[in-house]
Structure 1
């Protein structure tokens, strides 16, 4: 079953058994629960790369840049839940519960590596939730709410002693790609060339370019562009700085280039993006904008 990629407020759930549902590096206003069932895949979350193993559960604050990159030669199987945190808090979470959104808010982005009974319990909950979600009946919706609450209680229990997983890399390639990502995170607002990366990381620029594309599915400069657009989005929403200043601070040398690139990635001008979010309509964006 393929997931429905157009967010239907207040939540969606879907399982994919192939990599046809490819998503680019993206953000969205919903929180995300990503459960990896099988395959061979890396997952990029902002400045960190995870090498996934079956049983991995990722909890993500949607406005952090993220994407999966799966090996198309290996069967890919995952389940994703997107949900509106405000809806969950107001309609599902009982008043007597602890804050069940704390793992998303406080840990921001975390990987839980589930095995044994914990893994079986989470898989069972997700499968039952998806079956109810697809029925689209009033009673099924109520049962879905109950199971979703139980899932969030399970997650909260798993996060009682929060551990921000350290990346485990099976080869030097992943380590080197992580080094590139960390360098870009520190210098994205600057003028960056392959020569700069080669000098700072002491690795051939040709090796870095080839390996980065192999591991992430995108070029170094595609990643850099997404990072700059992401920074611009945050500043447009969170500050009152001028569009020109935001462009410069996000790494764009010319205002015209910033406007063209931003519209190409979001289908909106920076002015339109700021106005839409100031009007409280963050959920009404296209898949490309995310």
Structure 2
């Protein structure tokens, strides 16, 4: 969800979840998904991947990626800055995985216990937290990188896509958010913008704005004491009916059900 990706400091996101449905985005951090149960669909730089139980998806910095639900799933998600493990800087800067998907990563039985420890320590925020977290990530990445084939990174022109996504991120709560708004503000043909969404993000502009709003709503449902009506209006919907319909479309469940399920999304 987009609120994870605006953080530029050395903080770490590490938690379990039960609904892997995130909007298309890119950022300068490393993103790691370990599928514990179920399966989900992911897109990384326009390539489609199916993440099944026991698989790992690792997304390197500045790669456009998104997740779509297929069914029920339990997963571990972590997002962390490159600077957390400077020992791997040359890999992050100059290399990329031939495939971001590691099939049957569960064959390494050390990975899941490491992730459980990271999630637990990150939640507790104990003394020497940063040093301990860094140590665990060094071990985790060392294990994962042995399972990956790397190739040299190629330069890619993502400036236009970044501009479009940044504009959407800043304006998606506006009720009058339209394709013409992006075209006018960024001086880009609306037909070109539409093609960017269909070819790069595999969805229409309206679907993307809807997913941004639902992503924010998911955050509020879990982390804030707000009513469903308050959440609906705060993320850009003009009625609870349209909010509930859109939420069901993107997550497969009602907002109230999502709030209840996330309270049980802990597999430690």
Q: Which category of TM-score, normalised to the shorter sequence, fits these structures? A: 0.5 to 0.7
Structure 1 residue matching 2:238: 3-state secondary structure: coil
Q: 2-side partners of 1:71 and 1:102: how far apart?
A: 20
Give the number of the structure whose residues are more often strand, by fraction. 2
> What pairs up with 1:69-148 in 2 under 5 angstroms?
69-71=45-47, 80=57, 84=76, 103=80, 114=91, 130=105, 133-134=106-107, 141=109
Question: What is the root-mean-square deviation of aligned Cα atoms in Å?
Answer: 4.9
Structure 2 residue matching 1:58: 3-state secondary structure: strand
Q: State TM-score, norm by structure 1.
A: 0.49
Pair 1:193 & 2:178 matched: yes
Unaligned runs of 5+ in 2: 1-13, 35-41, 49-54, 59-73, 118-134, 143-153
Change (3 A) 1:144 1:79: closer
Pair 1:170 & 2:126 matched: no
Answer yes or no: is the 8 Å Cα contact 2:244–2:254 preserved in 1. yes
| CA deviations over 1:31-76 (Å, ceiling 9, x no partner) | 9xxxxxxxxxxxx9864268xxxxxx933489xxx8424358xxxx
Structure with greater Cα Rg: 1
Unaligned runs of 5+ in 1: 1-27, 32-43, 51-56, 73-77, 86-100, 135-139, 158-167, 285-290
Q: State TM-score, norm by structure 2.
A: 0.53
Change (3 A) 1:102 1:245: closer
> What pairs up with 1:41-60 in 2 under 5 angstroms?
47-48=25-26, 58-60=30-32
- Structure 1 residue aligned with 2:61: none
Q: 1:182 aligns with which of 166, 185, 194?
A: 166
Aligned residues: 188
Q: 1-side partners of 2:103 and 2:136: how far apart?
A: 11
Instruction: Tell me: higher relative CO, structure 1 or 2? Use CA pairs within 8 A at least 6 residues apart.
Output: 2
